[in-house]
Structure 1
Amino acid sequence: MELALLERLNAERAARRATILVTEIGSGRQRLVTPAEAPSDPLAERLAEGFRTGRSALVDLGNERVFLTVQVPSPRLVITGAVHISQALVPMATGAGFDVTIVDPRTAFATPERFPGVDLRAEWPEVVLPELALDPFTAVAALTHDPKIDDGMLAEALARGCFYVGALGSRRTHATRVERLAGLGVSREDLARIHAPIGLDIGAVSPAEIAVSILAEVIGVLRRRPAAREQAA
């Protein structure tokens, strides 16, 4: 691999941006493709599939065979609320390959005893958001029912293009939430992206069942999203 190409690949990886390295098997020529460049590429359809699934593949382009080396950052799940649902959701999400972070300034709930081995931030969202660096490979689940904790995280998640943004609460609760966020300057188009009530409608009742519905919805959005959504903001 040429040094310039390797440096660009490493820079994209460090910035948590998706890329696909296209290698022509016969000639050995290589090029790097980003999600923004993919639609105009001769391999547009296969590149879109690679960005969506995260899977590398050997493909045919006329008489030429090329190998697509897909680099997609590990998905993250940021949860506001160290609540019972979170206790059930964390081990499932971790097992599904997500890096999980919990944000909750309420130190009575956000304790290592309740969330062992988890990236736990017992601080207000506005304090930790610069460090979290939300991006299009991050899902955000707001589970506290407390606007002082959830709203700032939701607004930032929408602004940063997180692939999934969900919030706990009834439709009436969400309608009030939408008005609050609109008052903060969030556009109606972005507000429509919030999954609320959060999770798939499977009739979930217990915290564990609600956690299952949330993770299922997050994975569904992750695997079905358009490739263009994977371009980091």
Structure 2
Amino acid sequence: MKSIEQIVLGAALEILAKGDSGWLCTVVKTFGASPRPLGSLLFMDAQGQVFGSLSGGCIEDELLEKLQRGALASDRPEIYEYGVSPEENERFGLPCGGRMQILVEPMSASIDFCNMLTNLSDAIGSRRAMRRRVNLITGQWQLETVISAEPLAIVDETLVQDFGPRYRLLLIGANELARCISEIALAMDYRVIVCDPREDRREQWTVVGAELSAFMPDEAVSEFADPYTAVITLTHDPRIDDMALMQALIEPLFYVGALGSVRTSAKRRERLKQLDISDEQIDRLYAPVGLAIGSKSAMEIALAIMAQLTQLRSSSMKVVRGG
């Protein structure tokens, strides 16, 4: 399954490769609440086809109206601001006090643009982080490979936008909680892989879009481990969960979590110490998993887990681990 960035950039490449022109639109600044996060993309062609989303509809309609009037950016990038008044908030469906700046870049059917889009799409597809710099005066692009993605910024008339790999979520155990987590994570554009060595559990799995793996847990962790992958164990069976955790805690993963009570988590840590996992490695474990919001049902626990992942992704502050 492709990420929204791959879909938008792929559509732009296909349209430009046919000799048509279009506009790449990016959310470059937000104030207060906004319907789409910083860096959200949309591509619009000269016929008004739209790929991606900036606001859920109203801002897209405004850009289409500019296109029909011939008032959309033509020779160089332009930044449009929305939500500068309560009337605009209501008109564009923005939350109260919300404002957005949208960079609109005219793109012609040039070899340079096609090559840039191809390189950027390939990097995302192969899980390499890449940075694009856009000169806001001339519209020229530069691409460079980076170790990790940083937040979008505008510095000295230059847009600096990083494209990181799509986040992956490897769930150990095909059960009801995994179903709830998968449904939320898929809606949040994670790639979800569910690993369970038990054939009967895999046969009962029904979530469309979540991939099933028959690997042993440690093999699955090794297969998918990178800094953009989270691993969460959910089976309550130490023979399965501990096998995954032993591998996960030595890999460069974004997040390692384990389901269980405070008491269960303490026992798990003791077992991992006996398996020669260091204190420093064990300290990476989020257990009990998820934010402490008093969750009880499977969907509430799934919400707490995805909220914790969102918190970690959006903040550089260290999150206090449960337990």
- TM beyond 0.5: yes
**Whole-angstrom CA distance in 2 between matches of 1:31 and 1:84:** 43
Match of 1:164 in 2: 255
Match of 1:42 in 2: none
Greater length-normalized contact order (CA 8 Å, ≥ 6 residues apart): 1
Runs of 4+ in 1 over 3 A off after TM superposition: 4-15, 23-29, 112-117, 126-130
Cα offsets for 1:138-184 (capped at 9, x unmatched)? 11111111122112322332322211111011222112211222333
Larger Rg: 2
Identify if the C-alpha distance between structure 1 residues 29 and 16 changes in structure 2 by more than 3 Å, giving closer, same or farther. closer
- Percent of pairs with identical residues: 33
1:211 CA drift (Å)? 1.1
- 1:85 equivalent in alignment to 2:177: yes
- Of 255, 260, 282, the residue aligned with 1:191 is 282
- C-alpha RMSD over aligned residues: 2.9
- 1:222 equivalent in alignment to 2:317: no
Match of 1:60 in 2: 155
Match of 1:41 in 2: none
Identify if the C-alpha distance between structure 1 residues 6 and 212 changes in structure 2 by more than 3 Å, giving closer, same or farther. closer
1:223 counterpart letter in structure 2 = S
| TM-score (norm. length: structure 2) | 0.55
- Of 124, 127, 151, the residue aligned with 1:49 is 151
Higher strand share: 2
| Aligned 8 A contact 1:79 1:141 in 2 | yes
- 1:212 equivalent in alignment to 2:303: yes
- Of 115, 137, 142, the residue aligned with 1:30 is 142
Identify if the C-alpha distance between structure 1 residues 24 and 202 changes in structure 2 by more than 3 Å, giving closer, same or farther. same
**Whole-angstrom CA distance in 2 between matches of 1:106 and 1:126:** 14
Deviates more, 1:150-159 or 1:84-93: 150-159
**Whole-angstrom CA distance in 2 between matches of 1:208 and 1:185:** 34
Aligned positions, number: 205
**Whole-angstrom CA distance in 1 between matches of 2:308 and 2:205:** 28
Gaps of 5+ in 1: 37-46, 51-56, 227-233
Higher helix share: 1
Gaps of 5+ in 2: 1-111, 318-323
